[in-house]
Amino acid sequence: MIKIKKFLCLFCTLLVILLLTVNCTNIKERIKEEFDNVIKEEEREVTILPGNEYTKKYGFNYVKNSEDYKLTNKEDLKNIIYSIANQGWDEFTFYCDKEYSECLNDVKSELSTDNHMLENIGDFVHPYNSFESIGLYYDTTGKITITMKYKYTKTEIEEIDNLINNIITTNITDNMNIDEKIRVLHDYIINNTKYDKNMEESNTSIYDSKKMTGLLKEHYAICSAYSDVFAVILSKLGVENYKVSNDTHVWNAVKMFDKWYHIDLTWDDPVTNTGEDILLHDYYMIDNNKLNELINNDTNIDNKDKHTFDTTIYSELLQ
């Protein structure tokens, strides 16, 4: 009987020790889990640095500056990519929201295959922050890092900026109103630039006419250079603006007196058979109704689609 009691006592002691061991293990695991969660949350905090001097403080209907850089859907992704470029950041890391189950699939799909979306986003940033491509890095935890390859180097921007500043200071005066300033600079660019027909027809040229350097230094340009230079000028004048593009053409949209207008320097600088330089104002500060009228009245059928645009992207112009 005594032996049985001793055995039961030993058994109970071992059982208590076992239970305590299990409970301690569970407690340790729970503590470790909670600690890991805290660490993960801390690691998932994004670092927001100031934007550069070319950052646009205002937003648009299509894209807006992200407020918290939380990625919960495709719209957030579009705004985050715009914000990265708009701020002029070389690299930025952000994270999928835990509830966004399709996050990585959407990121890969949107950024690896949808170049059209990236081109549209580029229309809304300052030309000095315009980008040629982006690098995408991600892992299974939902950590995403974007790197930007910008169109212009800092050296090019400095040179371009000096040239544009000189154009502005030598052509406008303080007593001009804003419309007069824009018109004078519109005319100056056209009078000092030739459209590079070779680049349009064969995608080759002796001039750097796709970029602002071609227009400002060589005085030859295609629509991308016309619109970039004018976008820089508009921003320097404190005028809200963006670029409008389709598959074949790009021009400027400008906000004046709380309304948006089209300005197309390329089409106001037509190529003539005689080589004569012509300055037009047909596409200067026109509303969307006037643009449609010009399209409908154009007898050249090849021109009909040159000024069509996606109204869901550039919707301000429909006001």
pLDDT of residue 37: 46
- For the chain, domains (ranges, CATH) are 70-150 (3.30.1370), 154-318 (3.10.620)
Given the structure tokens 């930007």, which residue do they identify?
148
Q: What is the mean pLDDT of each run of 10 residues along the chain (319 residues)?
A: 46 48 51 43 76 94 94 96 97 96 92 81 97 93 96 96 98 96 98 94 92 97 97 98 96 96 97 84 97 90 87 94
pLDDT of residue 303: 81
Q: Which helix (H) or strand (E) holds 267?
A: none
Q: Which helix (H) or strand (E) holds 106?
A: helix 103-113
CA 100 vs. chain centroid, Å, equals 23
Q: Under the phi-then-psi rule, with left for phi > 0, alpha for psi from -120 to 50, and beta for the rest, what region is 257?
A: left
